[in-house]
Structure formats: C-alpha cells, structure tokens
Amino acid sequence: MLLLWMPSNKMCHHVTMTTDYRAGANSDDIRSQQEQAMESSPLVLPPKGPGPRQRFRLLRELVPMLLIVLVVFAGVRMFFQPYEVDGASMSPTIANGERLFVNRSAYAHVDLPAFGDIYPFSEPRRGDIIVLESNRTSRNAPYIKRIIGLPGETITYTEGIVIVDGEPLVEDYINGAVTRCDVPTYCSVTIPQGHVYVLGDNRRDSEDSRFFGPVPMENIVGKAFFSNWPYEDIGPIQHPDYGEIRAGS
C-alpha cells in the first residue's frame, strides 16, 4: 500500500529502510523484553505424581471403605433379594416383567419345644405375596403366589368363590367370582401344620395349590414387600383387608 503512494524509488527506498530499521528496533525491544520476563519469572515445573508414601496412605484409606461396601452389600443380599416376575399368574396385582424386593428374613423363626415356633418378625399372614421354591411347579424356577389359607384352616370352593372355614373370602384384587378348582383332591382340603395354601391372583392362568396342594413353609423364600420397577408402580406392596376372617381360625 505504501509503494502506491510514493513519488520516487528513492523515497520508496527511504521508506523501506526506515520501516526495516524500526522493525529491527522493535524486534530488539521485544527480544529484550522477553529475556527480562524470562529472567524475572520463576521456573514452573510440572506437578509430580504422588510418592510411594502418599500412594500407600491412599490405599490404606480406600481398603476399609471397600470392605464396608462389601459387608453392606453382602448383608443386604442376605436379607433382601431382587426378583423379576416372569409370567402373568399374579396379574393384575403384579405384572409380567415387574421387579420386586423380597424380604428373605420376613418369616425367620426359632422352634422351641416348650413354646413352639417363635417368629421374631412376622408369621405368614393371609394375603401375603410370597416367593416359593420350584419343587411343586412344572417350571424349574421360583414362583410367586398369594397366601390364601393358613395351618389348620379348611379351604373349599363355591360358585367361583374361595371359602375359608365356611366363610366366603372377599378378594377385591381379583376380577369377580372366577376361582375354579378342577382337582378334587385339592378343592376341599384342611391345611396341615407348617403349610400354607397359595393361589395366584390371575385365577384363570395360575398353577397353584389347586393343582399341587398346600406347600411347606420351609419352601418359602421370602415375602415380596416392595416394587421397584416399572416407575409408575414403585412403592410398597399393599396388603389386603379380609374383614372378619381371622388368621388361623
């Protein structure tokens, strides 16, 4: 741009020389400033990694935390077991694919000869939803049912309704009087001690005590008490109110 406005080569040369000189001066000034800055600035070194002593201290702090986590995890798994429901035998109360927490210690008990069975937490109750071992069903997997009858009670059926010790069982969680029993051996049965009578809420599609009779309590894995999936069903599992029927009457 400057060369377009200068009248002679001499002037151009002069301008060029002047520009070069100033550039050289500026370069020297800049170099001098950089050297001064380097001399006045402290030398910054990259941070060193933790030494052996620091690593040992960190490891010593982490190990107890990991042990605590493992102990808590093992304790939780000892008492609470997650399950995913496969099938519709408990529909509409519990859907296929629903995930539950099962309390394995809910019915833990001690057998004392002088006092009988002592349940520190809870005895099996009518209406409890439980997970049982699979030695009574056609599928080689734990199964989930509802306790309907307790030891000493007599279970019969009349016009699609479950009768407990001569009284009709009011079940608001099923779709009307739909409970049929086609195996005479288990359609009128008195439940032995140490056993419970179980049914699925989906009475038209459930393999339960109507087909294999009362089940021993030692086959109970635990009580389902909390639904953790799907999102809209998260929460405690509700226990039905059967009115005047007394447990174990």
**Who's near 135: CB < 8 A, 6+ residues apart?**
219
Neighbours of 141 (CB within 10 A): 9
247: left (phi over 0), alpha (psi -120 to 50) or beta: beta
* Whether 160 contacts 179, CB under 8 Å: yes
Catalytic residues: 89, 145
**Who's near 38: CB < 8 A, 6+ residues apart?**
none
- State the Cα–Cα distance between residues 242 and 169, nearest whole angstrom: 7
